[in-house]
């Protein structure tokens, strides 16, 4: 907030090394939150996410499904997946295993080739 020249209000006078949130009453919390809310109202969700990450802040923006669908973090990890022959986009497997996100399966009886190969590797050829 200081970097951007935002009005700090009550924040400016607090010794954060000594301030104990468990001792603050609601009026004090409201006074602290007021300039913070005003500041956040002037930045975008993406900006908050980027700057929050850079500053190691414990905070996240409230994302919509549209935001999530284009989140670079998910894209980098290959989270969303297609299944051959289907137009839809799906959530992928929930874990990355040995550096690889398992492919989604087709319906039972029509194994996805990559999955079949992986299954074979894991089971040693046993079904």
Q: Which of residues 18-77 bind other proteins (CB under 8 A)?
A: 49, 52-53, 56, 58-69, 72-74, 76-77
When the beta carbons of 7 and 73 are compared against other proteins, the nearer one is: 73
What one-character DSSP code corresponds to residue 62?
Answer: -
* Least CB distance to other proteins at residue 23 (A): 14
When the beta carbons of 32 and 63 are compared against other proteins, the nearer one is: 63
Q: How many residues bind other proteins (CB under 8 A)?
A: 37
What one-character DSSP code corresponds to residue 22?
Answer: G
Of the candidate spans 12-20, 26-34, 94-102, 105-113, the one that interacts with other proteins by CB under 8 A turns out to be 94-102
When the beta carbons of 12 and 53 are compared against other proteins, the nearer one is: 53
When the beta carbons of 5 and 65 are compared against other proteins, the nearer one is: 65
Rounded CA separation 22/29 (Å): 11
**Largest Cα–Cα distance of the chain, in whole Å?**
69
Q: What is the dihedral of CA 110, 112, 115, 117, to 10 degrees?
A: 90
Rounded CA separation 126/43 (Å): 56
Rounded CA separation 42/62 (Å): 15
Which residue among 10, 84, 97, 116 contacts other proteins (CB under 8 A)?
A: 97
Structure token digits, residue 65:
């499904």
CB 119 within 8 A of CB 103: no
Interface contacts to other proteins, rule CB under 8 A = 49, 52-53, 56, 58-69, 72-74, 76-77, 79-80, 88-92, 94-99, 122-124
């Amino acid at each position: 907030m200081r970097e951007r020249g935002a009005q700090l209000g009550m924040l400016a006078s607090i010794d954060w090394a000594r301030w104990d949130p468990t001792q603050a009453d609601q009026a004090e919390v409201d006074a602290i939150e007021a300039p913070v809310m005003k500041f956040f109202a002037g930045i975008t969700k993406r900006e908050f996410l980027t700057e929050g990450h850079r500053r190691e802040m414990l905070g996240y923006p409230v994302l919509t499904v549209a935001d999530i669908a284009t989140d670079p973090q998910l894209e980098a990890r290959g989270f969303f997946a297609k299944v051959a022959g289907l137009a839809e986009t799906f959530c992928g497997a929930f874990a990355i295993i040995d550096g690889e996100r398992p492919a989604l399966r087709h319906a039972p009886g029509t194994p996805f080739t990559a999955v079949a190969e992986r299954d074979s590797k894991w089971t040693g050829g046993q079904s």
